[in-house]
Chains A and B, each alone.
Chain A
Amino acid sequence: MNAPALYLALPIAAALSVYFLFPFRPRLAIFISTVLAAGMAWFASVLPFDAPITVLGHPIPISGSLSLLGRQFIFAPSQRSAVLFLFIGGAALFGGSLATPRNRLLLPVGWVVLSLFSASLFVQPFLYAAFFLFLSVLFLSLLLSDSTHPVPRGAVRWISYSALGMLFLLLAGSELSTLNNLPKDPGDLQLLLVQLCLGFGLLISFPPFHFWLPDVVDDSSPYSVSFILSLYIGSVIFLLLRFLDGFSWLRMSPDVYLALQAGGVGMCLVGGGFSVFQNRLGRSVGYLSLCNLGALLLSLSIPGPAGAQMAMVILAARGFSLLVWGVSFHALRPTHSGDRLEDLRGVASTRPLAFSAALLSGLSLVGAPGLISFPPLWALLRELAGASASGALGLLLPLSLLLSLAAGVLSVFRFARPMLTFAVSLPLSVEKSRSLRAFLLASLFLLVFLGIFPQIYLPLMANSANAFVNIMGTN
């Protein structure tokens, strides 16, 4: 059995199957997708590479390498945790779709994207991952526009930025592959850094390349947006870590960490600043996700295993917070009403669970205490406070994190106030859909429970960083 082929082909087969099954049995399609994705995640964690597996008494040897069109796709044992991370995320997002309005494309696109993300992890040389990430952008953008969300402006902008990002990364990658040591010429190093910064900046929507985000959260299905902001951004961060892992001189260069620090501070400040002045809840949470991305970049700016492990934990907590936000925002904003401050007046009385979940997930994105994102962000804050005395950006690093937290709390408070304005005409009730109620209750519980007892998920998520053997080997 060929492991890379399995993880590339099985999701495509699943995509085709659920596409045709969904119109007749949507719940069954969602159930199959969730179980299969979780099963593939489990299989990735137990897959033996050094011994054959026995099925019905027959030994089946496992191959970790696939040759396709002259290039290798390699599933190395160190990548188990990354694949596990990816498919658990996929399973959670598939399962969450049970509580959102039906979208026939969500599951097939999700499966195709999982296949493309797997390809981006396996392909050698890894710089070709940029191709697969761009292809995943193309597929994911199909979720952003449909008959109920007909304005494709944000999707077109996202595709444009991502295409340019892909080109910069391919150029930087081709340059990097010819260099084995730190370039002697400072001009070469600067050119490479500019290419890498532009490439990743375009892919992770670093300001000013974030202008697709407000359009997308305004005009698209919130659940699709949460799918993109969690799974896709996660894959881009994986690629960034692979760049750092693959080139020792890049890992050793202080300029790279300075660029990550500047990027993190910029995203925290821009995201926090913009989120406070938004009049639409979707946009506000979109900007809070930028703050979270800033925290991710700041964690990557800490050299060595600690930074990578913190990034993995922040990514996981971010994914869960965005998943909860996607579902709760759907419930708060039915298809035909808006999400402006005045549109949300009194919704806390008609949809209390969705209101609470939207609020807590927004707060969780900026690391409010007691919620799932708090433990990794607290650890990051401590690291940054310790390192700030010697760093080039000094106290600005921990301060930007704290400012984004304050801005996030203020922004959530601005939206909570009108939502809590109870009118006589709006009777107190709960969400009608049983699956939505169950999902929101469970997610509210988990947002708080995992925030109080982080030891349950922290080690598992931190272990995902083991995929980056060189980073994890440095001290």
Chain B
Amino acid sequence: MPSGFFLIGYFCLLGGTSLLIVFRSWNRSLSALALQSIGLGLVSFQITPPPVAVAKTTVGLFAVALLALTLSREKQAAGDEENPPVQALFRVSLLLFLFSSIVALFPQLTGVFREPPAGISFAALCLICSGLLNLGLAEHPLRSAASLLTILQGFELGYLWIEQSLLVLALLAVTDLAMVLVMIILYSHAAPEAPAESRVAS
């Protein structure tokens, strides 16, 4: 795998996960999640056979498509949150703090996944930590789904170094998709309540 692809993958993965935290509109968030999934596939080429990496990207993109389809049926920007510049700057500052913390603690954290290549380890930790941060910031069930997907993708990237059996790969893919589907179903039960809540809030 040429290192150029790896660098592009790295750029997509870190860019996607950062933008997912900064953006609060669904169109941009889903684009960021798609970018992150493409990056995940390109980065994981370094440690897995191409079909596995392609499968990882496909599962991520499929999850994005499911989320997009659900939101498009609402015929409104459901879950879009106001994102004034101050809040966006706050999230950027959190991201900077997060990345600097990972860089500072990186030597101690590489053992978590039994010493994979440094690039893989760093990317996995960035995904997990940014997913956790986003999960803490998320109020909307579908945004929680996107955050959990980020955490799971980060874990999968590191876990690929430890375990590549077919059953585990299949279970990880099923877990990702089932989690997104269940969150969509839970959201669909709550969706009729949303306008009423927003009216009360306003």
Per the bound structure, the CA–CA distance linking A70 and B167 in Å amounts to 7
Residue of B148, B155, B166, B186 near A152 (CB, 8 A) is: B186
CB of B78 within 8 A of chain A? no
Q: Identify which of A20-28, A134-142, A238-246 touches chain B.
A: A134-142
Could you say which residues of chain A place their CB within 8 Å of the CB of B193?
A: 150-151
Is the CB–CB distance between A69 and B141 below 8 Å? no
CB of B114 within 8 A of chain A? yes
Is the CB–CB distance between A70 and B166 below 8 Å? yes
Is the CB–CB distance between B162 and A152 below 8 Å? no
Per the bound structure, the CA–CA distance linking A178 and B170 in Å amounts to 23
Complex interface bits, B94-121 against A, C-beta within 8 A gives 1, otherwise 0: 0000000000000000011110000000
Q: Given A69-B170, A163-B151, are A152 and B179 also a contact pair (CB < 8 Å)?
A: no
> How far in angstroms is the closest Cβ of chain A from B161?
10
Q: Jot down 11 A-B pairs with beta carbons below 8 A, ordered by A.
A: A131-B172, A135-B174, A150-B190, A150-B192, A152-B189, A159-B148, A159-B183, A160-B148, A164-B151, A167-B152, A170-B155
Is the CB–CB distance between B167 and A171 below 8 Å? no
Per the bound structure, the CA–CA distance linking A139 and B175 in Å amounts to 11
Per the bound structure, the CA–CA distance linking A138 and B145 in Å amounts to 12
> How far in angstroms is the closest Cβ of chain B from A215?
12
Could you say which residues of chain B place their CB within 8 Å of the CB of A68?
A: 167
Is the CB–CB distance between B166 and A69 below 8 Å? yes
Per the bound structure, the CA–CA distance linking A200 and B25 in Å amounts to 35
CB of B65 within 8 A of chain A? no
Q: Given A69-B167, A69-B170, A174-B162, are A145 and B189 also a contact pair (CB < 8 Å)?
A: yes
Residue of A69, A134, A160, A178 near B175 (CB, 8 A) is: A134
Is the CB–CB distance between A156 and B186 below 8 Å? yes
CB of B144 within 8 A of chain A? yes
Complex interface bits, B165-180 against A, C-beta within 8 A gives 1, otherwise 0: 1111011101100110
Is the CB–CB distance between B189 and A131 below 8 Å? no
Per the bound structure, the CA–CA distance linking A170 and B172 in Å amounts to 12
Residue of B155, B171, B182 near A128 (CB, 8 A) is: B171
> How far in angstroms is the closest Cβ of chain B from A62?
23
Is the CB–CB distance between A159 and B182 below 8 Å? yes
Chain A residues with a Cβ closer than 8 Å to the other chain, count: 34
Could you say which residues of chain A place their CB within 8 Å of the CB of B62?
A: none
Could you say which residues of chain A place their CB within 8 Å of the CB of B170?
A: 69
Could you say which residues of chain A place their CB within 8 Å of the CB of B190?
A: 145, 150-152
Could you say which residues of chain A place their CB within 8 Å of the CB of B172?
A: 131
Residue of A128, A139, A155, A164 near B167 (CB, 8 A) is: A128
Q: Point out residues on B near A: beta carbons under 8 Å.
A: 111-114, 135, 141, 144, 148, 151-152, 155, 159, 162-163, 165-168, 170-172, 174-175, 178-179, 182-183, 185-187, 189-190, 192-193
Per the bound structure, the CA–CA distance linking A400 and B171 in Å amounts to 40
Is the CB–CB distance between A174 and B167 below 8 Å? no
Q: Given A138-B178, A152-B141, are A128 and B168 also a contact pair (CB < 8 Å)?
A: yes
Per the bound structure, the CA–CA distance linking A171 and B183 in Å amounts to 25
Per the bound structure, the CA–CA distance linking A139 and B162 in Å amounts to 28
Could you say which residues of chain A place their CB within 8 Å of the CB of B192?
A: 150
Is the CB–CB distance between B175 and A135 below 8 Å? yes
Is the CB–CB distance between A171 and B112 below 8 Å? yes
Q: Which residue of A lies closest to B162 (CB)?
A: A174
Complex interface bits, A151-191 against B, C-beta within 8 A gives 1, otherwise 0: 11001100110011011001100110010000000000001
> How far in angstroms is the closest Cβ of chain A from B163?
7
Is the CB–CB distance between B148 and A69 below 8 Å? no
Per the bound structure, the CA–CA distance linking A171 and B189 in Å amounts to 34
Per the bound structure, the CA–CA distance linking A156 and B180 in Å amounts to 11
Q: Given A147-B189, A150-B193, are A174 and B163 also a contact pair (CB < 8 Å)?
A: yes
Per the bound structure, the CA–CA distance linking A128 and B166 in Å amounts to 12
Could you say which residues of chain B place their CB within 8 Å of the CB of A69?
A: 165-167, 170
Q: Which residue of B lies closest to A72 (CB)?
A: B167
Could you say which residues of chain B place their CB within 8 Å of the CB of A155?
A: 186
> Which positions 301-359 of chain A face chain B at CB distance < 8 Å?
none
- Most A CB atoms within 10 A — which of B152, B155, B170, B171? B171
Residue of A128, A134, A145, A171 near B186 (CB, 8 A) is: A145
> How far in angstroms is the closest Cβ of chain B from A142?
6
Is the CB–CB distance between B189 and A71 below 8 Å? no
> How far in angstroms is the closest Cβ of chain B from A184?
16
Is the CB–CB distance between B185 and A174 below 8 Å? no
Is the CB–CB distance between B186 and A71 below 8 Å? no
Is the CB–CB distance between B183 and A156 below 8 Å? yes
Is the CB–CB distance between A141 and B174 below 8 Å? no
> How far in angstroms is the closest Cβ of chain A from B108?
10
Could you say which residues of chain A place their CB within 8 Å of the CB of B178?
A: 135, 138
CB of A146 within 8 A of chain B? yes
Per the bound structure, the CA–CA distance linking A51 and B50 in Å amounts to 46
Is the CB–CB distance between B175 and A156 below 8 Å? no
> How far in angstroms is the closest Cβ of chain A from B40?
16
Q: Which residue of B lies closest to A68 (CB)?
A: B167
Could you say which residues of chain A place their CB within 8 Å of the CB of B141?
A: 152, 156
Is the CB–CB distance between A170 and B159 below 8 Å? yes
Could you say which residues of chain B place their CB within 8 Å of the CB of A134?
A: 175
> How far in angstroms is the closest Cβ of chain B from A116?
11
- Most A CB atoms within 10 A — which of B159, B172, B186? B186
Per the bound structure, the CA–CA distance linking A151 and B186 in Å amounts to 8
> How far in angstroms is the closest Cβ of chain A from B130?
15
Could you say which residues of chain A place their CB within 8 Å of the CB of B171?
A: 128, 131, 135
Could you say which residues of chain A place their CB within 8 Å of the CB of B163?
A: 174
Complex interface bits, A108-143 against B, C-beta within 8 A gives 1, otherwise 0: 000000000000000000001001001100110110
Per the bound structure, the CA–CA distance linking A160 and B165 in Å amounts to 25
